[in-house]
Amino acid sequence: MTMLDQRHEEKLSAAAGVPDALAEWVAAIAAHTRPDRVVWWTGTPAEVSTLQDELVAEGKLIRLNPELRPESFLARSTPDDVARVESRTFICSESPADAGPTNNWREPAGMRAELSARFAGCMRGRTLYVVPFSMGPVGGPLSRVGVQLTDSGYAVLSMEIMTRTGAAVIAEIAGGADWVRAIHSVGAPLLPGDEDVAWPCNPDKYIVQFPETREIWSFGSGYGGNALLAKKCFALRIASVQGRDEGWLAEHMLLMRLISPEGRAFHIAGAFPSACGKTNLAMLRPDLPGWRVETLGDDIAWLRPGADGRLWAINPEAGFFGVAPGTSAKTNRAAIEMLASHTIFTNVALTAEGDVWWEGLTDTPPAGLTDWRGNAWDADAGTPAAHPNARFTVAAERCPTAAEDIGEAVPVDAILFGGRRADTVPLVTEARGWEHGVYLGATIASETTAAAEGATGVVRRDPFAMLPFCGYHVADHWAHWLSIGRGLDAELAPRMYRVNWFRRDTERGFLWPGFTENARVLAWIAGRIAGEAEANETAIGAVPLASDIAAEGVSAERLSQLLTVDPVEWRYEVEREAEFFGGVGGRLPVELSAQLAEARIRIARAFG
């Protein structure tokens, strides 16, 4: 037994003891995957620095210049393991109807057999880490626990930042808490004589959820949502099913507290598809005098109706796994300050001084860059220095705008549905009520981004920004939203809004400056909630008066373009919505067919 193993064992025995079910499960997986050793992770600073040193020694992490970027690292993935793999993501419910038309369904027994073959001996030559984690504060009223087994040290260090790990979680499990079993392997066993690589992975990937047994099996990828199983696999896909069964919601949403000059707090949740602006909005520093934002979460929110008739939310994560490109002191100063130290960067460029760089960080790239693949970067070659889905992993407490009560539940006042739309969708529209709001959420469409494999810039429906993340039938998700709404006090329920920061003019430039200027839209929403701001009714919902959102440098003509509801575009759009609903099948809630019928009538009436 190494010193390290010994220390872990001592810590564990001090920690109330490992329950039999957990110990037996770990032993069974270890017997099947055959790692060289098993390490129980408790997340002490000593464990963290030992693992960091190990990964640096193995070439899996590059330590950044401590004078410029203390306690920070760069990881470079292999070029074909850079994002989520939606085509290899499976929902294995007993009935295909429970996975619904938007998920890849596989029959559970067949998938188990396939996985069993893939996982046999897959951890040979590697260490199996046992990482108990809590989503939400350990023991918190909305929190849930799980255990990730992984043979990736990079995943362990990332999970340490993104979740609450440690012996207290084992105590929760020992105390009878339900826990999610999550098994991850990079799928690259090391046989005697094999040389390891900087980023082991396997071209054959599986991201598999078994919703009924609350299990996750992930094989072949080391990247982001594929490998940090607490995030998309648990906190969205499995948790959405737990929420369906238990009367709450697990959503792909940012969570923030907007504070007005008078000191009134408005809690806002926002569902935007991947790489469509959640992190940036969550860390907004308004240019508007007197307004402030406190960051509560940037990617996932769990929402539950309270006894008071309001909808309460927590961010179950403890860190941010955010998009690096486009992040600068101009667009997101809070993030830049947050990334000053203690950050793992993945697939960004490396400077000659041992610091990081990505497109958008500065106007001109520094000389002597090494690109994300590890090659000298040629500025004229037309390829980016950082991968478009390059990311940072950092603890939430590092964020200068982080709320002090991050992780605690807050009452939600407004819900935003966003997306990337070059045309059609105005800057902001207000829903007429809960059912109309659910319709806006169900019909989100957005241009695809580099957050997942495949082509970018293709408009697709991404209902509630949950297309890749809902663990059950998409129409049942909408029905669940409707049912949650019925349980809320109509006066206290969140107001709902559709927003679009990405409308373009004919020269294809963004019409709206975005980023800090998005505060103007939030201030209008706060004004609506407070019963102070005015609005113009349109066929698709209320929009602000141009004067209420006027931003410096945005001409009156642009403002009117931003707020335009174009008849031709909307006649086309509503038919695309109808097509999408048509493909969802018989489970479409009647309330949503009624909303669609009403939308058609309103558009026809308004435009003749």
Residue 280 contact partner, candidates ligand SPV, Mn ion, ligand GTP, none, CB within 5 to 8 A by sort of partner: ligand GTP
Least CB distance from residue 78 to ligand SPV, whole Å? 16
The CB-of-236 to Mn ion minimum distance in angstroms stands at: 9
CB of 539 to ligand SPV, least distance (A): 31
Is residue 139 a contact partner of residue 122, using CB atoms and an 8 Å limit? no
State the DSSP code for 236: I
Task: Considering the complex, state which of residue 223 and residue 501 has its C-beta at the smaller distance from ligand GTP.
Answer: 501
Could you write out the DSSP letters of every residue in 313-376? EE---SEEEEE-TT--TTT-HHHHHHTTSS-EEES-EE-TTS-EE-TTSSSSPPSS-B-TTSSB
Which residues from 328-357 bind ligand GTP, rule CB under 6 A?
Answer: 331
3-state secondary structure of 567: helix
Residue 482 CB neighbour total at 10 angstroms: 17
- Smallest separation (angstroms) from ligand GTP to the CB of 302: 16
Between CA 257 and CA 268, with CA 263 as vertex, the angle to 5 degrees is 20
Least distance (Å) between residue 501 CB and ligand SPV: 17
86 binds, among ligand SPV, ligand GTP, Mn ion, none (CB under 5 to 8 A by kind): none
Q: Could you say which of 158, 221, 279, 595 contacts ligand GTP (CB under 6 A)? A: 279
Percent helix / strand / coil, the chain, rounded to 5: 35, 20, 45
- How many residues of this chain interact with Mn ion, rule: CB under 5 A? 2
Residue 553 CB-density burial (10 A; 0-12 exposed, 13-18 middle, 19+ buried): exposed
- Compare residues 85 and 303 and give the one whose CB is closer to ligand SPV: 85
> For residues 298-327, which are near ligand GTP according to CB under 6 A?
298-299, 322-323, 325-326
Other Cβ atoms less than 10 A from the Cβ of 356: the count is: 25
Which range touches Mn ion (CB under 5 A), out of 234-242, 291-299, 380-388, 402-410?
Answer: 291-299
Phi, psi of 439 (to 5 degrees): -65, -45
Is residue 476 part of the contact set for Mn ion (CB under 5 A)?
A: no
Q: Does 394 bind ligand GTP (CB under 6 A)?
A: no
**Helices 590-607, 434-442: inter-axial angle, 10-degree rounding:** 90
What whole-number distance in Å separates Cα of residue 297 and Cα of residue 576?
A: 32
CA–CA distance, 119 with 142 (Å, rounded to integer): 33
For tokens 């957990």, the residue is: 22
Indicate which single residue of 390, 451, 466, 519 sits in contact with ligand GTP (rule: CB under 6 A). Answer: 451
Q: Verify binding: residue 299, Mn ion, rule CB under 5 A.
A: yes
Residue whose CB is less far from Mn ion, 138 or 396: 396
Distance CA 442, CA 459 (A): 15
Residue 186 near which of Mn ion, ligand SPV, ligand GTP, none (CB within 5-8 Å, type-dependent): none
Segment interacting with Mn ion, rule: CB under 5 A, options 238-246, 273-281, 453-461, 500-508: 273-281
The answer to whether 86 contacts Mn ion (rule: CB under 5 A) is no
**Closest Cα to residue 224, out of 387, 385, 374, 379?**
387
Work out which of 354, 366, 400, 514 binds ligand GTP, going by CB under 6 A. Answer: 514
Residues annotated in the binding site for GTP, as ranges? 275-280, 391, 420, 515-518
Q: Is 276 a catalytic residue?
A: yes
Catalytic member of 201, 276, 399, 470: 276
Q: Which does 8 bind (CB under 5 to 8 A by kind): Mn ion, ligand GTP, ligand SPV, none?
A: none
Span near ligand GTP by CB under 6 A; candidates 35-43, 194-202, 277-285, 558-566: 277-285
The count of C-alpha atoms lying within 13 angstroms of the C-alpha of 451, restricted to the half-sphere facing its C-beta, is 21
CA-atom Rg of the chain in angstroms? 24
Alpha-carbon span 161 to 121, nearest angstrom: 29
Binding to Mn ion by residue 317, rule CB under 5 A? no
Q: Give the residue numbers of the binding site.
A: 84, 223-225, 232, 252, 274-280, 299, 389-391, 420, 515-518
Q: Which is nearer to ligand SPV, 18 or 276 (CB)?
A: 276
Our finding on whether 256 is near ligand GTP (CB under 6 A) is no
Q: Which of 227, 275, 563, 603 binds ligand GTP (CB under 6 A)?
A: 275
Residue 430: strand, helix, or coil: strand
> Considering beta carbons, is residue 251 or 577 the nearer one to ligand SPV?
251
Closest CA to 406 of 275, 317, 273, 288: 317
> For residues 162 and 170, which CB has a smaller minimum distance to ligand SPV in the complex?
162
Nearer CB in complex with ligand GTP: 115/161: 161
3-state secondary structure of 533: coil
Binding site for ligand SPV (CB under 6 A): 84, 224-225, 231-232, 274, 299, 321, 451
* Binding window for ligand GTP (CB under 6 A); candidates: 371-379, 427-435, 482-490, 508-516: 508-516
Looking at beta carbons only, is 234 or 502 nearer to ligand GTP? 502
CA 565 – CA 607 distance, rounded (Å): 10
Q: Residue 394 in contact with residue 339, Cβ under 8 Å? A: yes
CA distances from 142 to 249, 315, 396, 494 (A): 11, 10, 19, 19
Binding-site positions for substrate: 84, 223-225, 274, 389-391
Question: 117 burial class (0-12, 13-18, 19+ CB within 10 angstroms)?
Answer: exposed
Annotated binding site for Mn(2+): 232, 252, 299
Question: The tokens 């809590």 sit on which residue?
Answer: 134
Query: Which of 480, 587, 583, 496 has the alpha carbon at shortest distance from 240?
Result: 480
Query: For residue 588, what are the CA distances in angstroms to 96, 326, 435, 439, 486?
Result: 16, 38, 13, 11, 17
Instruction: Identify any residues that bridge with 180 across adjacent strands, giving them in sequence order.
Output: 146
Residue whose CB is nearest to Mn ion in the complex, by number = 299
Please, which residue, 41 or 321, has the CB nearer to ligand SPV?
321
Q: Which residues are at the interface with Mn ion (CB under 5 A)? A: 274, 299
Residues noted as catalytic:
276
Q: Which residues are at the interface with ligand GTP (CB under 6 A)? A: 272, 274-280, 298-299, 322-323, 325-326, 331, 451, 501-502, 510, 514-515, 518
